Structure 1
């Protein structure tokens, strides 16, 4: 299916995002709850400002740009053919509060991207690379979503952002990749993350450590995952694609 024509959906149903999400795999039958979840990831609310943002995205030909990324990386990585949905991003929403120009969320069978117009098209590509790498790794691992552990989560994030570094350049990696020193990350990993690697997403501590909530440093799991993966790739002469299907435990050796 690839890039879904959500520009046409938005043209007709901009004021009813729940109805639009009812056409997605995840939103069928539970549009309200799914919309509430995606709002936390950055999906827009129907406002005049967001309508203008949608028109800007449409004028910039964003759907065509993302479609070209999808074709390129599906070929390069032998990646999955999954529906990709584009929507305007809501300012001051999404996981990365300090950088709300782009956001995304990936499932094994769907990808959602939230965007505004950006001057540098590499920014669009870097978001696509990150989320599509997640989806491609999920396909290779073949695990059920409820089976993913904290170790899986930090390796997912580390691999995806190393893919951004490799394919888009170091200038386009997320700020959290250089937020902390290796020494600090090593200490925090040993103290907090290592004892909890087997936690699944059902345990609240999983997200607290991954996202850095409460007493934990901001985006702790993301930053630790990036350093773990980068060190592993360099030591073993691999890249993010060759390592895409490795079990998460391999990165700790």
Structure 2
């Protein structure tokens, strides 16, 4: 992805982590005594580095090679911290059962899962990889919010060197992939087009990208997770633990595997 190669060195400035995000996740990790963690969709690794701590083995996973290169560069010689370039569902499939205490899937990463069938597969593999009582955190846009649909424009992000714009656009329905009874009408047959543009301020040169986002609503994620082997869940509308409402911008799901 040329666009993401362009912004890799700027990513932590465009999407800085927050103390509230760290506290929300760290509280859950501490509660289960998590020692072996996988951060899925880690990008340049800022949050992965934040949750690294003595006694923990932390792995960051991302599909983009330049993001992984930047994550390794910024991490220096930190011990028990590594970064792997791989596709998330395939990586979980190849991971040994019961090998992780916690999995993190933040930053709307789960929207890249391609449809309901792959979502079920992903959550089933996540449960398999977790140890009994293990924890999965999912942060995803609140697709029950009527504003977050094709035509929605995300806030413009800027650094001294670049600007980064994002919006949702409509995609034509694929007749070969009609919505299933489980997802219709809550999940469109093709999802949303996620259009991004990075512009260099000095030269005016720009790059654009278009990817598919599946707008999974939180109730669907809870139901699918329960079938996959997660016996307990909590859904919040922010990092402070406020209940999710229709107006919430994102959903944060805390999911725990059966003991």
Q: TM-score, normalised by structure 2?
A: 0.30
Structure 1 or 2: more strand by fraction: 2
Q: Which has the higher contact order (CA 8 A, sep 6+)?
A: 2
Structure 1 or 2: more helix by fraction: 1
Q: TM-score, normalised by structure 1?
A: 0.30
